[in-house]
Amino acid sequence: MKGPDVSWEQAARARAFDLVHRGTPGDVAFYRHVCAGAEAVLELGCGSGRILVELARAGLAVTGLDLDAARLERARAELQREGCTGARLVHGDMTRLALGERYDRVLIPYNALCALADDRAVLDCLRGAARHLRPGGSVWFDVYAVEDSLMDEPHGDAGDEEELELILSAVDAQGRVDVWEREHQHADPRRIDLIYRYELGGQAGEPTRAVDEIISHLLLPPVRLRALLAEAGLRIHQEYGDFDPAPLTEESPAFIVGAQREDA
C-alpha cells in the first residue's frame, strides 16, 4: 500500500540522511542473531529499511514503523527490489503504538530512542513495545554510550554556534550530494542538535538545490534507561557495550539492551 505523499524536500533529506548515516559496524548481524527463532518482528524507527530489509530477506515476518514518510518510501522501494512481499510498513509514531498485533521481537536500533523528545516519550515508547510483545518475547535496542554522571551535571549556557563543516561529498544514481554539519549544545547537557545542510546537484546541467535538517539527540545514560525500563514493566536480561558482543565498560561505544516483560 502506498504511503503519504512525499515532497521534494522530504525525499532530499531522506536521500542525504542515508548517505551519511550508514549504521554501526556489526549491528545488522547482531539484530539478525537476536531474532533467531522469532516468527514476527517489529522494528521501531525503521527508516529506509537498512536492518528491516535484511530481516525480511532472512524470511522473517517483519513490520517496520517510522514517522518519516520519505524514509518509509525508500524502505518500500528496497523491499520491492529484494522481492520481500511479506513485509509490512506503517507510517506512525513509536510513542503511540497501537498496531493490534504482538511480536516475538521488538527492535529499536541505531539510537532511535535518542531521537525522542524527552524521558516521557522514551517511557511511552518502551511501554508500547512491552504491550506488543508475545509471551516470552523481548525488546532489543542500542543507544549511544554516555556516562551516568551526565545525569548530575547542572544546566549551563548553550554552546557557541559553530561553523558548518563539509563532512561528505558523494555521488549516487541521482547526482551529487554535499553534506555540511555543525553541532549545537543545549543548556541541558543531555541534549545535542546536529544541524545539516544538504546541497544536491542533479544530473549534468541541473542546478544545485539546498535543504536543511536539524536532528535532535536525547542522551540516555544507562542509569536513566534502566529506571525507565523498570517503569515500563521491562526487566533487562542482556547488556552489551558493542555488537561483538562485549560487556559494557566505560570505554564502550554503545549501550545495547535486551529486555523482557516483568510478567513473562
Looking up cell 535543504 gives 211
Q: Is the pLDDT of residue 1 over 80?
A: no
| Third-level CATH fold of 165-218 | N-terminal domain of TfIIb (2.20.25)
The pTM (predicted TM-score) of the whole model is 0.93
Q: Please spell the DSSP secondary structure of 235-262, one letter per residue.
A: EEEEEESBTTTB---TT-SEEEEEEEET
Q: How many percent of the chain have pLDDT more than 70? A: 94
The reported pLDDT for the residue numbered 157 is 60
CATH class of 8-145+221-261: alpha beta
Q: CA-CA distance, 64 to 52, in Å (whole number)?
A: 7
Over residues 10-19, the mean pLDDT reads: 96
- Cα 23 to Cα 181: distance, rounded to the nearest angstrom: 18
| Residue 100 and residue 132 in contact, taking contact as beta carbons nearer than 8 Å | no
CB 262 within 8 A of CB 130: no
- The tens digit of pLDDT for each residue in 211-227 reads 999 999 999 999 999 99
The position carrying cell 549544545 is: 185
Of residues 203 and 181, more confidently modeled: 181
Chain center to CA of 69: 14
Instruction: Compute the average pLDDT of residues 171-178.
Output: 90
CA distance 263 to 260: 8
Higher pLDDT, 250 or 3: 250
Task: Indicate if the alpha-carbon torsion angle 54, 90, 181, 250 is positive or negative.
Answer: negative
- Are 238 and 230 in contact by the 8 Å Cβ rule? The answer is no
Residue 77's SS3 state is helix
| pLDDT, tens only, 153-169 | 766 665 566 799 999 99
pLDDT at 86: 84
pLDDT digits (tens, 9 = 90+) for 17-57: 999 999 999 999 999 999 999 999 999 999 999 999 999 99
pLDDT of 202 over the 80 cut: no
* Domains 8-145+221-261 and 165-218 agree in fold: no
The residues spanned by each domain of the chain are 8-145+221-261, 165-218
